[in-house]
Structure 1
Amino acid sequence: MKSNRRKFITTTAALAASTIAASAMPSSDYQKDEFPVVHHVFFWLKNPGSIEDRDKLVAGVKTLAKIETIKKIKVGVVASTEKRDVVDNSWAVSELMFFSDLAGQATYQTHPVHLEFIKNCSHLWEKVIVYDAVDA
């Protein structure tokens, strides 16, 4: 009886441990993001050497986080990474936003906070490029 009980406990513990380990491993299947719509914007400053203008633009972009349809936002500046032909580091500030759906991204475009950002900060940039994508 003790032998069967001990065998049962050992088998159950091993099975539980392997289940936990398997669930912790990343899945080899591609899984779509919970926020499948991506809006990535790059800004070039009118005064590219101005840290003050860059910081004003960064602060302005961060105000966009108040828009309820933006599920996640990242604001960045050029990283000091290796210089390669495929790397474009001519821009100054970027915003990377994630939305649940295209309707949320459309709401963002006409939202008063976004329009206020454009009004308050557009004098800082000379060029803007936008890349929009959805999960494939």
Structure 2
Amino acid sequence: MKRVICTLIVLGLLTTSCNQKNDNMKSFDAAFAHTVYFWFKNPDNQEHRRTFETSLQKFLTNSKYAKTNFIGTPPKASRDVVDGSFTYSLIVTFESAEAQQNYQEEEAHLIFIEECKDFWDKVIVYDSNGI
């Protein structure tokens, strides 16, 4: 009986915690997606990676235009069609192409570029309108 009560309490706490986290999330906006891939000059440099991640998080937190975002690193490729050659990926959604253009020119974005531009060797961007 004690085990059942403890299990129910733990499940209740987990459910409450998950619900609170989801309540704070912004909704994915399918109007415009901005996908960026970064290839670092020195991908194994842990100091550069920490600085990049901190600067990117600060930038996205302070952006007036980015609605949702996802920062990723390549998983171990399991198929030939998966390109895992990049160091970081970033997906940001916007309510419109105009909002994405404003994001390009906002101070938070320009500071991020200035702080991190020396780390990357190549950047490729794919922008998409939702259908």
TM-score range, shorter chain: 0.7 to 0.9
| Residue matched to 2:41 | 46
Q: TM-score, normalised on structure 2?
A: 0.73
SS in 2 for 1:62: helix
**Structure 1 unpaired stretches of 5+:** 1-32
Question: 1:95 corresponds to which letter in structure 2?
Answer: L
Max radius of gyration: which structure? 1
Aligned pairs, how many? 103
SS in 2 for 1:43: strand
The alignment's C-alpha RMSD in Å is 1.4
Do the aligned partners of 1:77 and 1:93 also contact (CA within 8 Å) in 2? yes
- Tell me, in whole angstroms, the C-alpha distance in 2 between the residues paired with 1:55 and 1:93: 12
Decide which of 44, 62, 76 is 2:57's aligned counterpart: 62
Do the aligned partners of 1:54 and 1:92 also contact (CA within 8 Å) in 2? no
Decide which of 78, 82, 89 is 2:74's aligned counterpart: 78
Q: TM-score, normalised on structure 1?
A: 0.70
SS in 2 for 1:123: coil
In structure 2, do the counterparts of structure 1 residues 34 and 126 end up closer, same or farther at CA, with 3 Å as the change threshold?
A: closer
Q: Please show how residues 1-136 of structure 1 align to structure 2 within 5 Å.
A: 34-65=29-60, 66-82=62-78, 84-136=79-131
**Structure 2 unpaired stretches of 5+:** 1-27
**Most deviating of 123-132 and 55-64:** 55-64
